[in-house]
Amino acid sequence: MTTDEENLAVAAHRRCSVLLRRWLSETHTPVRGGPLRLPLGPIRLHAEVEYVSPTGAHRFGPIRVVDAEDRPLAIAEPGLLSAALSAEARARAVADATINAADAGSLVDWALRSTGERDAELDPVGAGVRESTLHEQLREGAWTPPRILESVTDGAEAERWLSKHVETELLPRLCALESPGEEATASLLSSGVLAAIGVLGRCGVADERDLLAVLSAQLDAFTDSHPELDPLLRSWLTGPTVTDVAVVNGSSLRYRSRSGEIRPDPVLHEIANPLRPFNAASPRVPGVPLPELGEGWSLRPVELTGDDGGPDAALVHEWMNTEHVAVNWNQAWSREEWHTELATQLGGSHSLPCIVSLDGRRIAYVELYRVERDKLAGCYPRHPRDLGVHIAIGDDAVIGRGLGSSLLLAVARGLLEADPECPRVVAEPNVHNAASIAAFAKAGYTREREVGLPTKNSALMVHPR
Amino acid sequence: MTTDEENLAVAAHRRCSVLLRRWLSETHTPVRGGPLRLPLGPIRLHAEVEYVSPTGAHRFGPIRVVDAEDRPLAIAEPGLLSAALSAEARARAVADATINAADAGSLVDWALRSTGERDAELDPVGAGVRESTLHEQLREGAWTPPRILESVTDGAEAERWLSKHVETELLPRLCALESPGEEATASLLSSGVLAAIGVLGRCGVADERDLLAVLSAQLDAFTDSHPELDPLLRSWLTGPTVTDVAVVNGSSLRYRSRSGEIRPDPVLHEIANPLRPFNAASPRVPGVPLPELGEGWSLRPVELTGDDGGPDAALVHEWMNTEHVAVNWNQAWSREEWHTELATQLGGSHSLPCIVSLDGRRIAYVELYRVERDKLAGCYPRHPRDLGVHIAIGDDAVIGRGLGSSLLLAVARGLLEADPECPRVVAEPNVHNAASIAAFAKAGYTREREVGLPTKNSALMVHPR
C-alpha cells in the first residue's frame, strides 16, 4: 500500500468510528474496553474498544464485519456501515415513522456527501466529539480543535486551557442567551465543551475525569453569582441526562431536509450526563417496595426453594419459554439460567421478581425495578425514586380479556401508594409491540417519548402520580 | 496492515471491480487502458484500467474517489460505490420508473447482502464475468472457475479446454433447449462461455481474441448440422449485440424481488457482441445521404468558409450556446471548438451536420448519422444501414408551434427515400426530455426501449420504413 492509500484507510476508519460512537450513544449501549460485538441488521460488527470515554468519545481499533464465528469478512467501510445502521434504524422504528418514509434518505446519503471532507468535517455526528461544531462554537477563541492539540500537550495544560475557555468563552455566551434550554445544552455543553473534553481524552492528552471535575467546579461556582442561570446550570451539573443532537436513529428523524438537500436533520435526544457523578451524591434509593394490588389481585415475590429453585422457578421458566412471551422478552432460557437470574434479582436492590395471581390463579410474572439502577437510567430525565415495571402474562388462557391493563393499573396504583416519594411508574415496551403499548395506555400510562436501547427502540410509557 | 486486512482489502477491490465493470457495460461506456474518470452522482471516480477485455471482463488497478483536481479522497469501497451507482441510476431514470419506487431497494442492499460472500459469490453481476453463473452453468463439468485456473495455465491449454467444453457441454445443452432465445443467450453465451473466456483473459492465461476465434469457428461449424439452431447461432455469431442480464441500471429493474427478498432482480439488456468481429465482415455502409424534405423545408450541409468557419459555424455556435439547446445538447462550446467539430464531421462518413430552413428562414441544426459508426451501435440490435438524427431548433421564436415534429417526420421520410436499403430512422433523446420524446412520437417514431449511454439514459425512438 502507498502512503496515500494508508492515509485514505485511516480516514475511512475515522468515519466508521464516528458512526459507531453515535450508534452506541443513541442506543444507550454500555461500552467497555476490549472486543465489542454488535449485530447490525444484515451484518455483524466486531470492534476493538481501545479507549472508553465518559463523554462518549470512545476510540476504536480495527472495526470489521465478521461471520457468526467472528472470522473477518470485510473491513468496516463508512458506506457499508452507514447502510447497515440505516437498515437497522429503520427496522427498529415503526412502519409509519418518518425515517421509513419514501423520501427520508439514509445515512448512506451522509456517507456519500461526506466523502472527501477532511478533518473537522469528517466528524459531524460524534456524540460529544463533534469537532466541527466545536470549531464553530469556539471559533472566536484563538484555537480550533487541531490547534488545541498543538498547544495543549499534557493534562495540566489541558486543565488550564479548559478553565480559561470556560471563563472567557462559555460563561459569557451562556449569559448572552435569551432562552437557556435544550438547544443551549446541545450546542454549548454536549457538542461544545464536553466534545472538547472528549477529544482531549481520546487523543491521550488528559484524563477526562480530571477535566470534568474542573468544569463542574467552575460551573458550580458560577451559579451563586448568576441565579437566573441556576436551573440550567443545576441540570447540567446534576441532571441524570443531558440533551444531545441525534443524527443516526429515532423515529422522528428525517434524513432529508425539507429543502430537498440530503443531510442528516438533527433531532434532540438524551444521553447520560458525564458531569453528574461529580456533583450529585449517589441518591440513597431504597429497594423496590411490595405493592398491594386489591380487587382480587395478589402479588408476592418469587420464592426459591430446593436445589432447582422449586415451583416458582419452574413456572417462570415455563412461561418464558411459551411463544407469546418469548417473542417479546427474548429470554427463553434454560431452567438453570432462570434459577440463577431470579436468585440474582432477589439478592440485589435493582429489581424484584414477582408472581401475580388473580382470584388465586397464578397468571403473570412481573419485575418491579428502580429506574435509577436500571439501563433506562441514562435514557430520560428520571427522578431517583422512579419505579419501573416489566410484565409477562404467562397464562395464555387469560390473554385478550383486558386483564393486562387492569393489572398494569393496579400495579401503578399499588407502587405509588407503597412509595409516597415515587413520582411516576414507567415501562418500556418495544415500539413494535402495539398490543402492549395499548394495554399500558388503557391503564393510564402516557407515551412520552421513544428511547433507544441496545436491542430495541422502546416507547417510554409513564404513569404519573 | 495485517495479512487479514490485506486480504479483506483485496476482496473489497474485487467487489468494487464487479460494480464498475457492470456500470461501464450497461452505460455502453468505451473502455481504454490507463486512467478512467467517471462522475457518479455525488462523487467522482478515478480508476486505472489495467486490462481491457473484449467480453467486458476488464481488470482495474486502484479505484478511488477523487476531487475535481484528481486528488484522492477515499479508497472506493463497495458500500459507497453501490450507493453512488444507485443514486446515479435513479437520477438517470424517470421519476415513475420502478427503480425510483419507494420499495425498490438499491445496490446498497446488494452490498450488504454480499458482504462476506466469497469467491464465486463475490462476482454475481459482472458483465461476461459472472463466475457464479458460470459455476452453475457448468457444474456438471469437472471444474469450477478456480479449477479452470488450476488446470489451465497457458493459451494453448485454454484453447483445448474451451474447445472440449463447447463440444461436451455447451452444444449438448443448446440442443436440449426448448425455446432458444434471449434467456438462452443470457445464460449460455453471455454469462456462460463468454464469461469463462473473460476470466481467462483477465487472469492473463490466454488472449481473449484467440479464444473468441476458437468459439466462433466451432459455433459456425455446428450450424450446418443443426439448421433448427441456425437463427440463434447466427445471432450469436454476427448480431451487433448479444443479450446480457442487467442488474445495476435500467428503468425496468427492481432491486427488491417480489417475495420481499433484497436482491438485484435481473432484466435483459443488450451489450456489443464480442464474436461479431470474427464473423460479420465489416459492412460496406455508404456515408449519410442528403434527404429532400419538401413542404417548405430545406436542408443543406453546413458550409465552412474562411479562417473562422464563416456564417454557418457562427450560427451553430450561437444556437448551441442558447439556454434551451445547451441544457439538452450539453455542447455550449467556443466558436473554435465548434469550427473544429463541424470540420471533423464533414471530413468523415459518420455524421453529416446540416442547417434546416423553413420558407427560407434558418431555424434548426440537424446531425444525420449512420448508427453503424455511432456510439449507439453497441446498444441495440441495429441494421448496418440504420440512420439516426439529432436535432436542435436554434431559433427559439419557432419553438412550441409543432414545427419540431413536422420537421422530424420530414427528415425520416426524406432519409428513407434517399437510402432505399435503410430500414429505420432512430433517435435517442434523454428519458427526461419529455418535450423531445413527445415531438418524436407525434412524428411517428415509436419508443422501443431505454438504452444506457455514458452520460444519460435515452429513449430509443424508432421510425420504421
3-class DSSP string for B308-367? CCHHHHHHHHHHHCCHHHHHHHCCCCCHHHHHHHHHHHHHCCCEEEEEEEECCEEEEEEE
Lowest mean pLDDT among A16-25, A180-189, B298-307: A180-189
- pLDDT for the residue numbered B136: 43
Q: How confident is the model at residue A246 (pLDDT cuts 50, 70, 90)?
A: low
CB atoms within 10 A of CB B29: 15
Q: How confident is the model at residue B129 (pLDDT cuts 50, 70, 90)?
A: very low
Across the interface, do A79 and B75 touch by the CB < 8 Å criterion? no
Q: Is the pLDDT of residue B251 over 90?
A: no
C-alpha cell at B25: 457495460
CA torsion A289-A294-A298-A302 (nearest 10°) is: -10
C-alpha cell at B373: 459508426
- pLDDT for the residue numbered B13: 86
> Distance (Å) from the C-alpha of residue A206 to the closest C-alpha of chain B?
28
Lookup result for grid cell 426501449 = B449
Mutate: best of B77, B85, B98, B263, partner A, most A CBs <10 A: B77
> Distance (Å) from the C-alpha of residue B11 to the closest C-alpha of chain A?
8
Cβ-nearest to A102 among B77, B84, B102: B102
Instruction: Give tens-digit pLDDT for B50-60.
Output: 999 999 889 99
**Is residue B391 classed exposed, middle or buried when 0-12, 13-18 and 19+ CB atoms within 10 A define those classes?**
buried
In this structure, are strands A387-393 and A424-427 parallel, antiparallel, or unpaired? parallel
Residue A58 corresponds to which amino acid? H
Q: With the C-alpha atoms ordered B317, B322, B328, B330, is the resulting torsion angle positive or negative?
A: positive
Q: Could you tell me which residue, A186 or A378, shows the higher pLDDT?
A: A378
- pLDDT for the residue numbered B125: 32
- Inter-residue contact B376 to B347 (CB < 8 Å): no
> Distance (Å) from the C-alpha of residue A148 to the closest C-alpha of chain B?
25
Q: Could you tell me which residues of chain B have a Cβ less than 8 Å from any Cβ in chain A? A: 1, 4-6, 8-9, 11-12, 41-43, 62, 64-65, 67, 72-75, 77-84, 87, 102, 108-109, 111-113, 115-116
Residues sharing a CB contact under 8 Å with residue B203, sequence separation 6 or more, in sequence order: B149
CA torsion A40-A45-A50-A53 (nearest 10°) is: 0
pTM of the complete model: 0.80
| Residues in chain B, total | 465
Q: Is the pLDDT of residue A293 over 50?
A: yes
Lookup result for grid cell 456533583 = A279
Q: Is the pLDDT of residue A384 over 90?
A: yes
- pLDDT for the residue numbered A141: 33
What are the angstrom distances between the C-alpha of B84 and each of A53, A145, A406, A440, B81?
34, 31, 53, 45, 5
Give alpha helix (H) positions in B152-207. Answer: 155-165, 171-176, 182-184, 194-202
Q: Is the pLDDT of residue B436 over 50?
A: yes
Query: What is the mean predicted confidence (pLDDT) over A294-306?
Result: 93
Strand partners, A392: A365
- pLDDT for the residue numbered B144: 42
- pLDDT for the residue numbered A401: 78
- pLDDT for the residue numbered A132: 41
Strand partners, A452: A457
- Inter-residue contact A38 to A16 (CB < 8 Å): no
Residue A458 corresponds to which amino acid? S
C-alpha cell at B288: 449519410
CA-based nearest residue to B216, from B198, B199, B200, B193: B193
Q: Cα–Cα distance between B447 and A458 in angstroms, integer?
A: 52
- pLDDT for the residue numbered B130: 37
Query: What is the mean predicted confidence (pLDDT) over A298-310?
Result: 94
- pLDDT for the residue numbered A187: 78
- Average pLDDT, rounded, for chain B: 84
- pLDDT for the residue numbered A138: 40
- pLDDT for the residue numbered A57: 87
Work out the end-to-end distance of chain B between its first and last CA atoms, rounded to an integer number of angstroms.
64
Q: Where in chain A is the domain with CATH 3.40.630.30?
A: 297-464
Q: Is the pLDDT of residue B253 over 80?
A: no
- Inter-residue contact B86 to A106 (CB < 8 Å): no
**Is residue B245 classed exposed, middle or buried when 0-12, 13-18 and 19+ CB atoms within 10 A define those classes?**
buried
Count of alpha carbons within 13 angstroms of residue B73, beta-carbon side: 23
Q: Is the pLDDT of residue A118 over 70?
A: no
- pLDDT for the residue numbered B262: 53
Count of alpha carbons within 13 angstroms of residue B407, beta-carbon side: 29
Q: Cα–Cα distance between B351 and B372 in angstroms, integer?
A: 11
Q: Could you tell me which residue, B345 or A130, shows the higher pLDDT?
A: B345
C-alpha cell at A230: 441556576
Residues sharing a CB contact under 8 Å with residue A209, sequence separation 6 or more, in sequence order: A54
Residues sharing a CB contact under 8 Å with residue B114, sequence separation 6 or more, in sequence order: B15, B78, B121, B122, B124
B297-464: CATH homologous superfamily? Answer: Gcn5-related N-acetyltransferase (GNAT) (3.40.630.30)
Strand partners, B393: B364
Lowest mean pLDDT among A122-126, A295-299, B101-105, B114-118: A122-126
- Inter-residue contact A460 to A447 (CB < 8 Å): yes
Q: Which residues of A touch B9 (CB under 8 A)?
A: 1, 9, 75
Cβ-nearest to B12 among A8, A67, A74: A74
> Distance (Å) from the C-alpha of residue A450 to the closest C-alpha of chain B?
25
Q: Cα–Cα distance between B266 and B254 in angstroms, integer?
A: 8
- pLDDT for the residue numbered A110: 72
- Inter-residue contact A57 to A128 (CB < 8 Å): yes
Q: Which residue of A has its CA nearest to B8?
A: A74
Residue A175 corresponds to which amino acid? C
